[in-house]
Amino acid sequence: MTEHLRLIARKLDHLQRMREYLAHSFERCCDIFPATNWQAVSMEQHEMLAAFRIRFSEFQEHLGKTMRAVAIEEEVEVERFGSVLAFMEKLSLLESVDRWKVIREIRNAVNHEYEEDAERLSLFFAEMFKARPLLSYLPAMTN
């Protein structure tokens, strides 16, 4: 096995653990969301939501890097990430390029526009809760 394949194997192992952490955070947040009164959300609940937000973001980020590593191994042109996504979709490891883009937009919004505004928080978390199963679509990639 080449060093690059060992790197991919380590990335896949790491993704599996990250997926488990994401699922755990998701389950812990199901009782909180949808929150109708953000002022009533406890500090502990805010921490659980923050953990979910971070794990969602990190899983998506690491998944993208792993897909790029796989594409490099398969000698796919990776300068444009769209090529990587198209390759993953072709292998049936990604449900669709458009769904990936939706997840990426949610990740960017929640990381760069995160606010204490109750309405914005509700929108961000609603979108992340809807998108979380899309990140779990990749069973073949993580064993």
Q: What is the pTM of this model?
A: 0.81
Determine contact, residues 68/53, Cβ cutoff 8 Å: no
Eight-state DSSP code of residue 80: S
Determine contact, residues 63/138, Cβ cutoff 8 Å: yes
pLDDT in tens, the chain (143 residues): 899 999 999 999 999 999 999 999 989 988 887 766 777 888 998 899 889 889 988 998 999 999 999 999 999 999 999 999 999 889 888 888 888 888 888 888 777 665 566 677 777 777 888 777 666 655 444 43
Structure tokens at 114: 């995160």
Determine contact, residues 48/21, Cβ cutoff 8 Å: no
